[in-house]
Structure 1
Amino acid sequence: MKILKYLLLFVLVIVVGGAVYLASLDGKYEVSRSCTINAPLSMTFNTVNEFKTWGEWGPWKEKDSSIVYYFPAITSGENGSYTWTGTDPKKGMIRNVSVSQNKEILQKIKMDDYEESDIYWNFEAVENGTKITWGIKGEMPFLVRWMAESMDEKIGPMYDRGFELLEEYLQGKMNEHSVVYSGEVDYGGGFYVYLSTSCTFDQVPQKMEEMMPKIHKYVKENGIITSGYPFTVYHKWDEDNHTTMFSVGIPVRERVKTNGTVLVGFQKRVKTAKFTSKGAYKYGGDAWMFGFKTLEEKGLKIPEGAEPFEVYLTSPMTTENPADYVTEIYLPVE
């Protein structure tokens, strides 16, 4: 009997000691990671805000291939949510409790039978893209308070990997591009103001970046009424010497007086083969090659001395995702 009493006393000491030890622990934890992602602010924010994208870039699938996602009617903005089932945890849920566009997202997460924890996202536009912070904070149940100290070690690397996958996902979306043949159309018939230059092929992008803002500024400062989208017309294209002469212009409602380097021209109505390119400007060369190949396949010829041109339906100033840039290419045909 004495042995039993001593054993019970020993167990009691262990229990009391353990309780005292656990009571001395805080049990609260907070883990956060930050990085700069090479993607526009609103695109990054909108991707995180839309739970349907989480299965594409979330790091959890790499550790648990059995995860299945379930999406309700609302998956973004306040009250947006999603649930999942898996191996560990067996079930979980995340919901948005507060969303401040392009600034902050506050969420609640619940896994298995544990208490809810708080997740927070902060977003800030920086020179190289978007600075993003991803954090979680909560409190461990009394009996496992000791696990709070190890939460950074468990969650931190997963968040780091999540940032890597998120950037890969965003870069993939930004590099999406396509071009389609839109048929033969008659185009033109109006005045336009323009700037011209000659340069080597590799200087074209830089020259355009310099000239387009100048022509827009001239139009705005002189109160000129425009009548269409900005464009570039290629007057000469010398493959042997890798040089070109081109103009950037903006259609205007009527003939206007100009001064300095800005000139006014008139575009005659011309029969063209039209191609619609969607995607970053760096894929423009592919779109033009597609156009020339299509003309060849259809037996269409560009008249001697004709001047192909492209029209920009979107602007990088107002369209953040390069994959959404829309350019119309017009190749004059006989």
Structure 2
Amino acid sequence: MKFFKYLLLLSLTLLVIGLLYVSIQSGNYEVSRTKLMKYPVYSVFNIVNDLKTWEKWGPWHDEDSTIMVTYADKTVGVGASNRWTSKDGSGSIKTVSIIENKRIVQEIRFGDNEPSDVLWDFEKIAEGTKVTWTMKDDKAPFIFKVFSTLSGGWENMLGPMLDKGLNNLDEVVKSQPLKYSLGEVKIIENQDKIFLGFPYKMKIDYAEIQKVFADAMPKVIDYAIQSGLKYAEFTPGALYHKWDQIKGETEFHIGILIEKNIKPREDMEIIKVTGGKNVMITKCGNYNEGDYEAHMAIDTYLKVNNLISKWPIYELYVNDPTQVKQEDIQTDIYYPLQ
């Protein structure tokens, strides 16, 4: 009988020692894994940015078939979120900020615990895209410290999961067809042009900008037709006066480049686009696919040739996306030169 008492006492002592040991372990961790993927940065970024794709590559789905995911109305960009339940508990994830094709910042919450940070960094390199996935916290809950201790540390606990997720992501990106093509970057001479459109000042939020385009463009085109213009006498486009990625602010007009002047509606403006030399590129593919790469191609051309551009830069949407194949939707991008 004494033996069992001593055994129980020993077990309790070891348990207390174990709990004390865990309690003094740091709840501060930052674990990262990086993988080179031989695909354009937009291909990788767009998949990670869409939470509905995570079921295809998230490493936890391979480990737990009981996971059930519920999506919010928004699943792409800032504010996108979902929740899940499984035999091991519940959780949620939310996207809190993005820098297009460069960084995604998210918060992930397990149960009722405080959220941890999830960071994604995308770097365009000659071979493709360098992707870094990071999980970090400075106040991890006690139960997480228990798992970390049993695993031999935060790196051993989280690192293999991040590696597996990046490998799965690489396979998903590989299965996606390239959705755009870029023409040659070149210098052309333009005449003075007239632009009619709605002015906007807003935060850089790609989902919101898309909504603005979807609302404004049909209104401008309808007004042009009602004002007597034929389709051949105008080209839809956007005129950008500011794009400050650091402050997250942009100013632009959505409208049409017109061959002859018409009186604008009260909420529209007429802008004269001064002629001269422009660096331009043609991108073929769906809107928002390859736009970053097209602008970066011009940026590289400007640097290599010691050229300086000036505002406004503009895009023209040359053909009707409902009348051509997705890969043939044409966008011409112009950077006026100083």
Q: TM-score, normalised by structure 1?
A: 0.49
TM-score (norm 2): 0.49
